[in-house]
Amino acid sequence: MNDLIFVSVSTIKNRAAGIHPVCIINSIKNFIGDNRNHPSKVLLEFAVDYLFECDFRENDQSILDETVKDGIGQTAFLGDLEDACQSGTWNEAESLAAKTFMASDQSRGTMDALAELALQDVNRNGLFVFHILRAYHFQELKKDTWVFTKCLLDQLAGDELQDAHDPEDQNPEEIWEAMIKWGDLPLFAAIERLWKGDYVRIRGYQRELSYWVSQVTMVEKKKIRPNPNHWLTDHDSKKFISCAERIVMNEKTQKEKATELVTLEAVRSLSKNANEQQIGILGSRLNQLLS
């Protein structure tokens, strides 16, 4: 899985492809974790095939080499990097990211700062931020930290960033019931887990997430009837593997399969904290979303 994760964060940004590859590979990693003794060959083959369709960055190391060659020079501050990203001067941001990364003894600090910036637009970046941070935590190889950092920077590059928001006295728990009925399940599952995560910058993450929660306006759609007979009610984690395998063997596009895998992984997470009625609701939502 380490190699697949590394490859997924080495891909070139492609909005048209839909969900970022790291979200798909991290989701597959979570499914496989439900049966580590017998990892699903079907899911692993899909992961490889999916990544083979991507284009990849080739200059990550050369950016660091140029930084060393030119000399790190004056101390580069994260604040300067944040300002460059905020103003949309992306070439400068790339240079500053490399400098702050090298000046910090190649730690994850630059990556974490970029993650906080990305969460200023939760709708666009929340799902991606969660999955890349979890993928990094799973791997956590210092030699690969720059590749993850560059992936985060590229995710931001070219988009106008929102300003940082003031914290709000709200949290994801307050909208949990409504979100599982009518909300974006992959995004909400990511937000819930980010909120509860153990991160150095958790206060900054929660600041942006609390603002997002405060802005959620849920329009009640048709009534969701819980499905008490759904396989989710069996509480058998290995059934997620079977469902994921059915998804990748369907006659659908790779993009559709990827979206459904990430949706299934979100339901897997949300169901862990759900009561029986809520699990029935999640089962009904899953049937709708995978139809």
CA distances from 287 to 11, 89, 119, 248, 271 (A): 31, 44, 30, 16, 14
Return the closest-CA partner of residue 53 out of 264, 255, 256.
255
The residues facing 56 across adjacent strands are: 11
| pLDDT band for position 47 (cuts 50, 70, 90) | very high
Alpha carbon distance 140, 1 (integer Å): 12
The residues facing 11 across adjacent strands are: 56
- The predicted pLDDT at position 86 comes to 96
Whole-number percent of the chain with pLDDT over 70: 97
**At residue 190, does pLDDT exceed 60?**
yes
* Range from 30-44, 54-68, 89-103, 214-228 carrying the lowest mean pLDDT: 214-228
| Domain extent listing, the chain | 60-68+77-215, 231-289
**At residue 218, does pLDDT exceed 80?**
no
Residue 175 has φ and ψ, to the nearest 5°, of -115, 10
Whole-number percent of the chain with pLDDT over 90: 86
Give the torsion through C-alpha atoms of 252, 234, 32, 43, to 10 deg: -20
| pLDDT band for position 69 (cuts 50, 70, 90) | confident
Contact 126, 215 (CB under 8 A): no
If you write DSSP's letter for every residue of the chain in order, what string do you get? -HHHHHHHTTBPP-GGG-S-HHHHHHHHHHHHGGGTTS--HHHHHHHHHHHHTS-B---HHHHHHHHHHH---SPPPHHHHHHHHHHT-HHHHHHHHHHHHHHTTS-SHHHHHHHHHHGGGHHHHHHHHHHHHHHHHHH--GGGHHHHHHHHHHHHTTSPPPPP----S--GGGGHHHHHHHS-HHHHHHHHHHHTS--TTHHHHHHHHHHHHHH--PPP-SPPPP-TTSGGGG--THHHHHHHHHHHHSSS-HHHHHHHHHHHHHHHHHHTT--HHHHHHHHHHHHHHT-
| pLDDT band for position 133 (cuts 50, 70, 90) | very high
Query: The pTM is what?
Result: 0.95
Amino acid letter at 272? K
Contact 82, 152 (CB under 8 A): no
